[in-house]
Amino acid sequence: MKHFKVLGSGCKNCENTASLIEKKAAELGVEARVEKVTDMAAIMGYGVMSTPGVVLDEKLVHAGGMPSADAVAGWLKDEGCCSGSSSGDSGGCC
């Protein structure tokens, strides 16, 4: 099972990010747990200064803005953290 943490204040983009991860996991038949983290000290502990942030199995894979559906699908398909985006663009976290 994949463990995602959506880091943020609970804003609309944070809620939408959590929903997107849950939706894509269901579509792909992947077991995933999505935890919402709103504690600012915990969020800053991951080095996130712009939310929402996404942590997959304790690795930061995205920060700032909504991730794309393709990035989320890549995380769920084990395509590695670099299939996602750390800035909302096509760049990876590496």
82 is catalytic: no
Choosing from 11, 82, 93, 94, which is the catalytic residue? 11
Catalytic-role residue among 14, 81, 93, 94: 14
What is the C-alpha to C-alpha distance for residues 18 and 37, in angstroms, rounded to an integer?
11
Nearest Cα neighbor of 86 from 38, 54, 46 is 54
Active site residue 11: yes
Alpha helix ranges (H) inside the chain: 12-28, 40-45, 69-76
Active-site annotation, residues? 11, 14
